[in-house]
Chains A and B, each alone.
Chain A
Amino acid sequence: MKEPFERVVSEHGPTVLRVCRATLGPMDADDAWSETFLAALRAWPDLPEEANVRAWLVTIAHRKAIDVHRATGRRAVPVDAVPEPRGPGPQRPEDALADGRLWQALADLPPKQRQCVAYHHVAGLPYVEVAAVVGGTEAAARRAAADGIAALRRTYLAREDVSSHA
Chain B
Amino acid sequence: MPDFTELLPAGFDPSSFGPGEVPKGLRERLVARATAEHSLDVVYRVVDSPVGSLLLAATEAGLVRVAYAAQGHDSVLADLARRIGPRVLRTAAGLDEVVGQLDAYFAGSRSSVDVPLDLRLAHGFRRQVLDHLRAIPAGRTETYAEVARSAGSPRAVRAVGSACASNPVPIVVPCHRVVRTDGSMGGYVGGSEAKAWLLAREAAA
Is A139 interfacial (CB-CB < 8 Å)?
no
Is B130 interfacial (CB-CB < 8 Å)?
no
Q: A9-B22, A45-B86, A87-B23 are in contact. Are A1 and B81 (CB under 8 A)?
A: yes
In Å, the complex CA distance between A141 and B30 comes to 32
Q: Interface range on chain B: under 10, 10 to 19, 20 to 34, or 35 or more?
A: 35 or more
Q: A44-B87, A117-B4, A122-B14 are in contact. Are A4 and B77 (CB under 8 A)?
A: yes
Asked if B89 and A160 make an inter-chain contact with CB atoms under 8 angstroms apart, the answer reads no
- Which residues does chain B contribute within 8 Å of A88, judged by CB atoms? 19-20
- Which residues does chain A contribute within 8 Å of B5, judged by CB atoms? 121
In Å, the complex CA distance between A90 and B19 comes to 11
Asked if A2 and B86 make an inter-chain contact with CB atoms under 8 angstroms apart, the answer reads yes
In Å, the complex CA distance between A2 and B82 comes to 7
Q: Is the interface of A mostly helix, strand, loop or mixed?
A: helix
B18 contacts which of A3, A6, A21 (Cβ < 8 Å)? A21
- Which residues does chain B contribute within 8 Å of A90, judged by CB atoms? 11
Is A41 interfacial (CB-CB < 8 Å)?
yes
Residue interface mask A9-34, B partner, CB < 8 A = 1: 10001100111011000100110011
Stretch at the interface among A60-68, A71-79, A148-156: A148-156
Asked if A34 and B19 make an inter-chain contact with CB atoms under 8 angstroms apart, the answer reads no
- Which residues does chain A contribute within 8 Å of B77, judged by CB atoms? 4, 6
In Å, the complex CA distance between A156 and B81 comes to 46
Is A48 interfacial (CB-CB < 8 Å)?
no
Q: A14-B18, A34-B29, A88-B19 are in contact. Are A102 and B8 (CB under 8 A)?
A: yes
Asked if A6 and B7 make an inter-chain contact with CB atoms under 8 angstroms apart, the answer reads no
Is A5 interfacial (CB-CB < 8 Å)?
yes
Is A108 interfacial (CB-CB < 8 Å)?
no
Shortest beta-carbon distance, B103 to chain A, in Å?
Answer: 23
- Which residues does chain B contribute within 8 Å of A95, judged by CB atoms? 11-12
Residue interface mask A113-128, B partner, CB < 8 A = 1: 0000100011000000
Residue interface mask A96-116, B partner, CB < 8 A = 1: 001100100000000000000
Is A146 interfacial (CB-CB < 8 Å)?
yes
Is B149 interfacial (CB-CB < 8 Å)?
no
B30 contacts which of A4, A21, A34, A85 (Cβ < 8 Å)? A34
Shortest beta-carbon distance, B35 to chain A, in Å?
Answer: 11
Is B88 interfacial (CB-CB < 8 Å)?
yes
Is A38 interfacial (CB-CB < 8 Å)?
yes
- In the A-B complex, list the 10 residue pairs whose CB atoms are closest, starting with the nearest: A87-B19, A121-B4, A18-B17, A2-B86, A4-B88, A13-B22, A4-B81, A21-B17, A149-B2, A17-B18
Return 10 A-B CB contacts under 8 Å, by A number: A1-B82, A4-B80, A4-B88, A13-B22, A17-B17, A17-B18, A18-B15, A21-B17, A95-B11, A160-B9
Measuring CB to CB, which residues of chain B are less than 8 angstroms from any residue of chain A?
2-5, 7-9, 11-12, 14-23, 26-27, 29-30, 33-34, 37, 39-40, 42, 44, 77-78, 80-82, 85-90
